[in-house]
Structure 1
Amino acid sequence: MKKKMWLSLTLSALLLTAAGCGNKEGADTPSKGSEGGTDKQSFKIAISQYVEHPSLDATREGIMAALKDGGIIEKDNMELDYNNAQADSTNNLTIGQKLKDNKNDLVIAIATPSAQAVVKNVKETPVLFAAVTDPVDAKLVSDLEKPGGNVTGASDTNPEATTQLMKFVSTHFPNVKKIGLIIDEGEANAVVMSKTAEAALKEHGIELIKASITNTSEVKQAAESLVGKVDAFYITLDNKVVSGADAIINTAKMNKIPFFSSDRDTVEKGAFATVGFKYYDHGYQVGQMAVDILKNGKKPADMKITIPDKLDLILNTKVAAEYGIEVTDAMKQEVKDPDNNIIQ
């Protein structure tokens, strides 16, 4: 009897010990991360964006989508510090200085002014830029193939896009002899693109007339100042001007002046044509670079600067009549992917 009782007590003790060990393992053992280790890998990423407008917002959305597809997800294994300068140069510099002292795994700068402020201040942390027209002219890197240092990224400009758009204008709008450009000449990328456009137009005997602005609130007045002086409007990837594109669209429609832009998003909003690409895709490309840096150990110094290579003419045919434009078959035939790039 005593022997049976002793065996029963021993078995009970063993079962309790096993159960206790099982509970402890479930409570204290760390979960495995995406890399199969015992600790879940986590990241701190800061984004500096110069201003909110469709192209830059789409760029950021593309970046976030690529990060997510790469297993880097906000509020899961990624802490995001998003900063927007609202096109204010003082805010922009303050953000750059702030990110200098923050311990991030990666800093992403969207638009040339943001990239310049970040690169000036952040010297150790890897930096990626997006929506930058000319990284060399902006002094972000010295070489597009071998950036060196802690900075790399993607340019949103292929000079061929501007050249192709000006050829399209000269071919299909023979009455256009003067094009009005609303421009912030304090923005380096806008100046670079305006020079490319001016040279291309000169080959076709078309004059470029500029109306300068210093902030978005001046865009409407600048557009109105060109009425009666020009036969068409054009804008570059100029952040303050793109932010005020609605004012140009309204002025252009009211006066039956064709409006050409340098970005797809402004065409989707109401400009007539551009040669370009989707900024979401541009951002996605930068997001893939971010994943390579954070998860695959790639160094910005060894990652070449990329540029858009899938250019196409993009037409918004549904607004054409409001500008006094008759869309011809010849225009449509220049669009390589009509299903996606003719907006109707």
Structure 2
Amino acid sequence: MRRRDLLGALAGLVAVRPVTGRAQQSPRLPTIGFLGQSTPSVERQRLAAFLKRLSELGWIEGRTVAIEYAWGEGNSERFAKFATDFVRLRVDVIVTSGTANVIAAMQATSVIPIVFAVAGDPVANKLVASLAKPGGNVTGLSTVATDLAGKRLELLREAIPSLRRLAAIGNIGNSLSALELSEVQAAAARLGLETDILTIRQAEDIPSAFEALKGGAGALYIVADPLVNTHRDRIQTLAMGARLPTIYNAREHVEAGGLMSYGPNFTDLYRRAAEYVDKILRGAKPANLPVEQPAKFDFVVNLRTAKALGLALLPSMLARADEVIE
């Protein structure tokens, strides 16, 4: 992706293309393989934060570093293909996010450093030996935090005091999503909420999942993963059609029309991932770079969506939000 292409992507005029041979055309430049879990339009803010921090650290695309881009679009087969392409191109470091992407990269190479900007429980998923001592060619930033599902449900109930029944949608083919769906059910039970679980494995399952939704659900909890993120707009459109307020894990989804989000500041995580890349390109080994955990958690509310749904959010709630989109 040339510089003008990237600027176009960040403006929302995105041209998706496969991995090219640019790394071979610029052999003297250190090369980063950036494997996005979704699409450029969905990840543009995170990518922009990553590139900005790289630039601040002296890594200017096309001048001091080359970058190969590939976009998984929530498809595990694409993850594996592009990870293999990066190895073939002999990139100096692979940057990605999401456990499935990291595993695909690990299966492709045990030598090239891999930095994950986002990964859930990297120890339990055997991405690293420990947070303090990763021990291999992989390191990065974990999103592990306690009881985020419970916190999100508390926010939903505060926004919708009459909430008695909750729907939750997630990719059951993703082990982390399946675990979060279980956590949502447990947290809902503690709050006295009934739950309808909508499970998907591919994009084609999304409409039928909503068709199977039982009447009476007052809100929708979305479990984010590459598949869900890639088809976020479709899910949000169906949710609005069903008059369901939604809660997500990241602000980008609220910008796209979701009611609210609570979770780690993913833009900050991508900025910090650039710092890992900087250290590795200057000679540091991933095995010696401890995995970090989130430093910032954001609560974001879309007031336009609230008004469209006829919700009158309390001023006290809006005052606690880190950002209110009006």
Shorter-chain TM range is 0.7 to 0.9
SS in 2 for 1:237: coil
Q: Which residue of 2 aligns with 1:284?
A: 271
Find the aligned partners of 1:153 and 1:323 in 2 and give their Cα distance: 39
Change (3 A) 1:119 1:229: farther
Change (3 A) 1:157 1:60: farther
SS in 2 for 1:216: coil
Find the aligned partners of 1:63 and 1:160 in 2 and give their Cα distance: 28
| 1:295-331 Cα deviation digits (max 9, x unpaired) | 2x32211222222222132111111022231111132
Query: What's the TM-score, normalizing by structure 1?
Result: 0.80
Once the two structures are TM-superposed, the CA of residue 279 in structure 1 deviates from its matched residue by: 2.5
Once the two structures are TM-superposed, the CA of residue 227 in structure 1 deviates from its matched residue by: 5.4
SS in 1 for 2:195: strand
**One-letter identity of the residue aligned with 2:295:** D
1:116 counterpart (103, 118, 121): 103
Once the two structures are TM-superposed, the CA of residue 52 in structure 1 deviates from its matched residue by: 1.0
Find the aligned partners of 1:131 and 1:161 in 2 and give their Cα distance: 16
Find the aligned partners of 2:163 and 2:227 in 1 and give their Cα distance: 26
Work out whether 1:242 is the aligned partner of 2:242: no
Find the aligned partners of 1:313 and 1:55 in 2 and give their Cα distance: 19
Once the two structures are TM-superposed, the CA of residue 168 in structure 1 deviates from its matched residue by: 1.6
| 1:234-283 Cα deviation digits (max 9, x unpaired) | 11222212222223322332332211112111111111111124422221
The unaligned stretches of length 5 or more in structure 1 are: 1-40
Q: Is the 8 A contact 1:116 1:138 kept in 2?
A: no
Stretch of structure 1 that moved more, 90-99 or 74-83: 90-99
Q: Is the 8 A contact 1:179 1:232 kept in 2?
A: yes
RMSD: 2.3
Work out whether 1:83 is the aligned partner of 2:65: no
SS in 2 for 1:80: strand
% identical equivalent positions = 24
1:52 counterpart (39, 44, 49): 39
SS in 2 for 1:212: strand
Find the aligned partners of 1:195 and 1:132 in 2 and give their Cα distance: 19
Q: Is the 8 A contact 1:227 1:255 kept in 2?
A: no
Q: Is the 8 A contact 2:70 2:82 kept in 1?
A: yes
In the TM superposition, 1:251-262 aligns within 5 A as 251-262=238-249
SS in 2 for 1:211: strand
| 1:157-198 Cα deviation digits (max 9, x unpaired) | 533433321222233423222211121111233223223323
Once the two structures are TM-superposed, the CA of residue 73 in structure 1 deviates from its matched residue by: 1.4
Once the two structures are TM-superposed, the CA of residue 155 in structure 1 deviates from its matched residue by: 2.1
Change (3 A) 1:250 1:99: closer
Query: What's the TM-score, normalizing by structure 2?
Result: 0.84
**Which stretches of structure 1, 4 residues or longer, exceed 4 Å deviation after superposition?**
none
Find the aligned partners of 1:159 and 1:206 in 2 and give their Cα distance: 20
Q: Is the 8 A contact 2:99 2:119 kept in 1?
A: yes
| 1:9-60 Cα deviation digits (max 9, x unpaired) | xxxxxxxxxxxxxxxxxxxxxxxxxxxxxxxx83111122222165533322
Change (3 A) 1:103 1:254: closer
SS in 1 for 2:212: helix
> Larger C-alpha radius of gyration, 1 or 2?
1
In the TM superposition, 1:121-200 aligns within 5 A as 121-200=108-187
| 1:53-85 Cα deviation digits (max 9, x unpaired) | 655333222222221111111111212221222
Change (3 A) 1:303 1:128: same
- Greater share of helix residues, 1 or 2? 1
In the TM superposition, 1:205-216 aligns within 5 A as 205-216=192-203
The unaligned stretches of length 5 or more in structure 2 are: 1-27
Change (3 A) 1:323 1:137: farther
Change (3 A) 1:186 1:89: same
**One-letter identity of the residue aligned with 1:115:** V
Stretch of structure 1 that moved more, 284-293 or 167-176: 167-176
